[in-house]
Structure 1
Amino acid sequence: MRRLIFPILMGLVGCAVLVSLGVWQVQRLHWKQGVLDAIEARISGTPEALPTGDVTDPTVQDSLRYTPVRAEGMIDAGEIHVLTTVKDEGPGFRLIVPFETGGRRILADLGYISEEAKEAARSAMPATIEGNLHWPQEADRWTPAPDLEANIWFARDVPAMAAHLNTEPLLIIARQIEGGPPTLPQPVTTSGIPNDHLSYAATWFGLALIWAIMSLYLIRRTLTEERRRI
């Protein structure tokens, strides 16, 4: 019977470790859902005036991220077209423009335009924009450099876009627009924030079940061999 000690011990320890990892992922799932709920509540909050002061500090940007704002001003000449695709609409571009409001010049993401509308003539015009502040982290070292001649960008890089359009590194992603060119707003949501903890938990619990089955098989096999020796 001493031969049973090892498979029983391995079965219990392995199952305990795998189940504990599954429980930890369930706890992480509840934590992440709380974070997403808080972000959703902030996104849908009452619009505020634009924040004042320096917004180049990453700490300040993190504190202002998702803040709902409303601003009146003038959409100025100059555009950036960021490659995107929208369900039921197909490939197109996000229309990023300089927006002058209250003596400031900031960035505004007005939403989706089709490939056909890319070269349409758009002049300066007044607008009221309601949306959320955001600093999308879409660019990485694998992101191609923008094609400035064709005006095609492959990610929203707020510092680079601000430098190109000579604005503050402050971006409003529009939810509603009064005035302005025809676009399909693509407001900020939490849909792009991953929350895979449920699948991770299922994986760990599944591995625990497999480990238990394999351990029981090994124990049964060991018992059978012991009986044959008697």
Structure 2
Amino acid sequence: MSTAPDDAAGRERRPGGGLVLPAVAALAAFLILIGLGTWQLERLAWKEELLARVEARVHAPPAPVPPPELWPKLTREADEYRRVQVRGTFDHGRETLVYTVRGEDAAGPVKGQGYLVVTPLLRTDGPPILVNRGFVPSDRRDPATRAAGQGTGEVEVVGLLRLPEEASWFVPANDPAHGGFFRMDPAGIAAARGISGAAPFIIDEAVNAVPGGLPLSGGTRLVFPNRHLEYALTWYGLAAALVGVALLQRCARYRRQALDATSC
């Protein structure tokens, strides 16, 4: 007489039978979720440190622009958003318009589509530096419509040091051949305008009373998304839910085994 069916039934009733692979998969998923949550907490600490660093920099007294010998050593961690000052003369004839949208959360009445006016600042004591003078709406992109703001003579610029804007899937690539600029790329802008030896950074000019009101300066966005705690709690919550489901399944399995044992 064959005993195969009894053996199979015994394996089904044996505690832990058939649970090894699901348990391993559940444990792996649990460890991954815990790892993701912990990584988000580490990102949270990094982001809070960044915010504190930026807050201190933007309210510090302006310092001279770093000299050219230090330019290769500039980093985002140490230098982005430093408040600096520099003197020179604007070369309005070689300004560049970088497309942008001034959102509803921006200060002041001027909003919507438009351009950031990036103008070379020519210096007697160093190479030129590109300055983001601020926003103009689309219907004022022509310098002739804002001639009052195209002043001559030496000026002092105070603003925030900004390194090249990182490429993004959401922002088109610059197209200098057709005059299309969509992100701040000082090297690309300088090359397109024939500006030799320009600094590898841009200065976002602070709020400045420009004759005629345009460009509208002081529009640097200092709002950084910080949802790392929310993400960490989500990953940890999923890990806890996974443990809960595993425990419920385990309890249900033992109850079935107990009922099977009493029915024999």
**Length-normalised TM-score, structure 1:** 0.81
The answer to whether the 8 Å contact 2:174/2:183 transfers is no
- After superposition, the CA RMSD in angstroms is 3.1
Kept after mapping to 1: 8 A contact 2:207/2:218: no
Larger RCO: 1 or 2 (CA < 8 Å, sep 6+): 1
Query: Which amino acid is 1:50 matched to?
Result: V
Aligned to 2:10: none
In the alignment, the residues of structure 2 paired with residue 61 and residue 202 of structure 1 have an alpha-carbon distance, to the nearest angstrom, of: 32
Instruction: Calculate percent identity across the aligned residue pairs.
Output: 23
Question: Which 5+ residue runs of structure 1 have no aligned equivalent?
Answer: none
> Residue 135 of structure 1 is aligned with which of 148, 156, 163?
163
Q: Structure 2: where are the runs of 5+ without partners?
A: 1-13, 105-110
Structure with the bigger percentage of helix? 2
Aligned pair in 2 of structure 1 residues 119, 160: CA closer, same or farther (>3 Å)? Answer: same
Contact 2:164-2:202 at 8 Å conserved across structures: no
Deviations 1:73-97 (CA, angstroms, capped at 9, x unpaired): 3222221000000113001000000
Distance 2:159 2:211 in 1: 14
Question: More strand by proportion, 1 or 2?
Answer: 1
Q: Does structure 1 residue 2 correspond to structure 2 residue 31?
A: no
Kept in 2, the 8 Å contact 1:131–1:174? The answer is yes
* Structure 1 residue identity aligned to 2:103: K
Distance 1:163 1:147, change over 3 A: closer
Aligned length: 227
The alignment partner of 1:219 has SS state of helix
SS in structure 2 of the partner of residue 96 of structure 1: strand
Larger Rg: 2
Alignment of 1:74-153 (within 5 A): 74-77=89-92, 78-88=94-104, 89-104=111-126, 105-121=128-144, 122=147, 123-126=150-153, 127-139=155-167, 143-146=172-175, 148-149=177-178, 151-153=179-181
